[in-house]
Amino acid sequence: MPKNSGPFVVAVVTQQETRMWFEGIDSGAEHETVKERNPFDRHNHIRMAQHNRGHDIDEYMPDYLESISQALKPAGEVLLITHGKGKGSAVPALTDYFEKKHPLVAKKVADVLDVDITRMTEPQLLALAREWWEKKYGIHEITS
């Protein structure tokens, strides 16, 4: 069972938003969403890339990462689910941010799963989290 007090939280992380389940991971469970606050439209992608000499708009990422960090503070244990590796994933920036700014939150990250979340429904993502829980703890029921 988790060592930390607080709920088991599943966080599905992309560069645009993070969906977090605090109240269980049964099919149909409600989630909270933190969105990246980038004021630029995606249609400006090429112009922004030319202006910034790259595709990343790092200026707004710290606010997004801080919002995720604050939301996860009450968690006892966190399972991060992400899409892609390298520049396609927001998780390396997030876990680095946790380590530097919120080491207590960093300690709560139990695992990071890399899956194609663009092809998965919410019930499939929650089923993946339940499978992970069962493998780690050998039980189905999740208690906070």
pLDDT at 107 (0 to 100): 97
- Compute the distance between CA of residue 61 and CA of residue 97 in angstroms, rounded to an integer: 10
The terminus-to-terminus CA distance of the chain in angstroms comes to 9
Q: Give the residue ranges of DSSP H helices in the chain.
A: 45-52, 61-72, 91-101, 103-108, 122-137
pTM > 0.95: no
What Rg do the C-alpha atoms of the chain give, in angstroms? Answer: 16
Tell me the three state secondary structure of residue 135: helix
Q: Dump pLDDT digits (tens) for 31-69.
A: 999 998 765 544 444 444 444 444 454 566 889 999 999
Count each helix (H run) and each strand (E run) in the chain, helices first.
5, 5
Domains of the chain: 8-137 (3.30.420.60)
